[in-house]
């Protein structure tokens, strides 16, 4: 056995030498705010941390990371010790890794605020047809948010959450994905479902919880889901979708599908344990999962400065051995390029990728929130007007001669009419019968559930005035 181990060790050493798998030093220059991408052609290596191979356990190999910890290139390494996680160099100097770098990770960006391309930008070209569709969907999402928000304020639906300020992340990410990719959303990604063909009527049916709602009226409004569009139903608990995405991604890998799992989270969700469990799982199992974090500045009323001391979210990916990039979430072209490249890496190399999209939540957290209680109205107005992602992308499309004010007026007018009709129809539609509250829980309904159903029916019959019109037992 000892001879076998010795031969194995010699073989590994030889392979490492021949395949150049020894310690790698990658230097990063973060002294300016140019885009992260600087090569002339986009490739899967553009946004990468220094992985050296796609071998199963290569993520455990010891590699020197980019110059984020500011260590000296001339460290006195005495020898290497073989630990279970891989060889580790030793030094006689007691030196702690800094808590964070003095320079923040730069943000990949393509479009200026005035809609012009930043010179020497590197991004995936977008055709006129795709650009126009992206803008139309972003504008539609704006109108949809306005109509449903007003419907809640009128007492016609119980709850709503807008995507105001984050429309580019919604639509640009959706445009970069394949319909076969499985999406596990949080609750600000209706634009992904809109892009995949979910109709305005289907959105309205879910918000009103009527008999045509796929969730049978059991979910809160804006908790959409669609098997047909590979869009898993939204759930309220924060970050639970991340470990689920890890499992979905690993399943896709085992089935050798040409697809990945894509999951969304807000900056507040990264404070949950499920965030860390999900990232660690996919890193170790090398599952094709793209994590997209909308760092919008606020977790309800908790500012990012009160959530973490690290440089945002992007550095957390590196800590788990996951390729990561920070992107301007208000720049539709940058989001599209980053997500498209991340998706290619996840599928072709069967590895996870983390994207931190820097943005701002212009709207209230939900209709149950008043954000002016914890942030200045001027701040909200600045992001709404001066940093608006829809306006920025519109300027670029208009500058290309692909869009006009006549197109704008017609689109918004028609969309508003369609939405109002959808709301009126959904509101008049019958609700789900009471029995649906108890179905689909068990294969065979247990006795205690039958008793609860019978008791509730009797209560409704005794006090019908306490229940809305059209409520069927």
Q: Catalytic amino acids?
A: 150, 236, 365-366
CA 86 vs. chain centroid, Å, equals 32
CA distance 237 to 186: 9
- State the alpha helices, DSSP H only, in 180-292: 190-195, 200-208, 241-254, 273-285
* Helix, strand or coil, per DSSP, at residue 37: coil
CA distance 373 to 456: 40
CB 110 within 8 A of CB 35: yes
Please, which residues have CB within 8 angstroms of residue 148's CB and are 6 or more apart in sequence? 157, 160, 203, 204, 207, 221, 222, 423
Q: How far is CA 409 from CA 129, 195, 413, 414, in A?
A: 19, 21, 6, 9
How large is the greatest C-alpha to C-alpha distance in the chain, in angstroms? 85
Q: Report the alpha-carbon distance of residue 86 to residue 96 in Å, rounded.
A: 20
Beta-carbon contacts of 395 under 8 Å, excluding residues fewer than 6 positions away, are 114, 115, 116
Residue 438's Cα: distance from chain center in Å? 33
Element (H, E) at 391: helix 389-399
- What is the 3 state secondary structure string of 175-206? HHCCCCCEEECCCCCHHHHHHCCCCHHHHHHH
């Amino acid at each position: 056995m000892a001879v076998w181990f010795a031969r194995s060790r010699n073989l590994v050493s030889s392979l490492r030498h021949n395949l150049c798998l020894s310690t790698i030093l990658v230097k990063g220059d973060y002294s300016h705010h140019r885009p992260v991408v600087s090569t002339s052609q986009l490739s899967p290596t553009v946004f990468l941390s220094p992985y050296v191979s796609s071998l199963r356990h290569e993520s455990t190999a010891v590699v020197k990371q980019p110059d984020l910890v500011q260590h000296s290139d001339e460290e006195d390494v005495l020898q290497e010790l073989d630990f279970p996680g891989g060889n580790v160099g030793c030094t006689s100097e007691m030196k702690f890794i800094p808590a964070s770098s003095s320079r923040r990770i730069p943000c990949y960006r393509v479009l200026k605020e005035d809609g012009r391309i930043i010179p020497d930008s590197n991004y995936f070209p977008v055709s006129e047809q795709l650009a126009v569709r992206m803008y139309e969907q972003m504008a539609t999402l704006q109108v949809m948010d306005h109509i449903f928000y007003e419907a809640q304020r009128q007492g016609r639906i119980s709850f709503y959450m807008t995507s105001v300020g984050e429309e580019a992340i919604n639509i640009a990410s959706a445009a970069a994905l394949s319909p076969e990719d499985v999406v596990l959303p949080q609750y600000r990604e209706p634009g992904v479902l809109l892009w995949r063909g979910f109709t305005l009527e289907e959105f309205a049916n879910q918000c009103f919880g009527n008999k045509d709602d796929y969730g049978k009226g059991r979910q809160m409004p804006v908790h959409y889901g669609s098997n047909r569009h590979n869009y898993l139903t939204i759930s309220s608990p924060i970050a639970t979708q991340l470990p689920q995405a890890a499992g979905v991604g690993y399943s896709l890998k085992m089935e050798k599908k040409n697809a990945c799992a894509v999951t969304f989270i807000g900056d507040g969700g990264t404070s949950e344990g499920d965030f860390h469990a999900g990232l660690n799982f996919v890193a170790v199992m090398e599952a094709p999962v793209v994590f997209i974090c909308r760092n919008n500045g606020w977790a309800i009323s908790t500012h990012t400065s009160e959530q973490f001391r690290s440089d945002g979210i992007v550095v957390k990916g590196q800590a788990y051995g996951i390729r990561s990039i920070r992107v301007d979430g208000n720049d539709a072209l940058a989001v599209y390029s980053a997500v498209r490249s991340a998706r290619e890496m996840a599928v072709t190399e069967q590895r996870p990728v983390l994207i931190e999209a820097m943005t701002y939540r212009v709207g209230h957290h939900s209709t149950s929130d008043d954000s002016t209680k914890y942030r200045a109205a001027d701040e909200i107005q600045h992001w709404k007007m001066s940093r608006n992602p829809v306006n920025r992308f519109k300027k670029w499309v208009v500058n290309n001669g692909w869009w006009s004010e006549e197109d704008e007026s017609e689109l918004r007018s028609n969309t508003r009419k369609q939405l109002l009709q959808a709301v009126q129809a959904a509101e008049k539609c019958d609700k789900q019968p009471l029995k649906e509250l108890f179905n689909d829980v068990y294969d065979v309904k247990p006795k205690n559930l039958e008793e609860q159903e019978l008791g509730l029916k009797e209560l409704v019959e005794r006090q019908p005035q306490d229940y809305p019109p059209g409520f069927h037992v």
